[in-house]
Amino acid sequence: MTKLYESRKRILVTGGAGFLGSHLIDRLLRDGNEVVCADNLFTGSKRNIDHLHTNPRFEFLRHDVCFPLYVEVDEIYNLACPASPIHYQHDPVQTTKTSVHGAINMLGLAKRLRCKILQASTSEVYGDPFIHPQTEEYWGNVNPIGPRSCYDEGKRCAETLFFDYHRQHNLKIKVMRIFNTYGPRMHPNDGRVVSNFIMQALRGEHLTIYGKGDQTRSFCYVDDLIDGMVRLMDSSDEITGPINIGNPVEFTIKELAEEITARVRSKSSLVFLPLPLDDPKQRQPDISRAQAILNWSPKMQLREGLEHTIRYFETFLDRDDDR
């Protein structure tokens, strides 16, 4: 029993009621840890963590990371920030504050506790890239004053803060650049392409494609992404990142739409609308560093991952219909 408690960590996950955060918490609890989930529920949902409230090793705090948080933990995963364009453009000033003030507050907590902290960064730091696929050495092509800038530049500034705390205070940091991820618990109305297409197909609506549909994305299943995140946190202190975590298999948006309509057996047609400003034309991770350093590669193929995700949205619709 003593050894069990010696190996158990108390871990803070900010944004823990969100899509990625809730899956991360499930994994950390399965590994035997205690978890403190902090979330202001702006985009997160209690539905994602309802199944955890009877777990004695789980604690929920309704908290906005723009304000300091005083808890005692052994590790911090900082995932708090709206991640879809619809949500982060709803209040762009608050989005920037969440990335920047949130990073400062969580780094301050980690500094006080002398604990490791992981920043959930994003492939959006590469903007609309000139280099393809994107390596961690690429500095990106980002519009600093466009409608997506609150998220892109907020995350870039958060990375800056993490590395400055590392250099100035010798803080143990991990920076992970997350590429497009999908799976159960995605918000059905978050505006991201996988959830959009699935919900439209299930409802028999037209699938809306922005642009010609020839822009590309790489889609990583959530379980693979979480495995990469935990591996990065558990890696040696010398490994700070940034490290790309995503699936390097590239698909056009039109191919994704056709795959989803086939999986759903939908007769929905495709409708093409103008491409939003600063929407990247290509997005594909170079994961050589993750493969070499973390021995990590994604395992789930898109077709199988979509089946799991579609089943989740089918039950989601069923629950809504019962209300």
Cα 212 to Cα 96, 215, 275, 313, distances in angstroms: 31, 8, 8, 26
Query: How many helices (H) and strands (E) are present in the chain, helices listed first?
Result: 10, 13
Q: Which residue is catalytic, options 77, 151, 165, 221?
A: 151
Q: Is 168 exposed, middle or buried (0-12, 13-18, 19+ CB in 10 A)?
A: exposed
- Residue 151 a catalytic site member: yes
Cα 274 to Cα 32, 143, 211, distances in angstroms: 48, 19, 5
SS3 of 216, please? strand
- What is the CB-side half-sphere exposure of residue 39 using CA atoms within 13 A? 27
**Sequence-separated (6 or more) residues with CB below 8 Å from residue 271:** 206, 207, 208, 209
CA distance 233 to 127: 25
By annotation, the residues acting in catalysis are 151
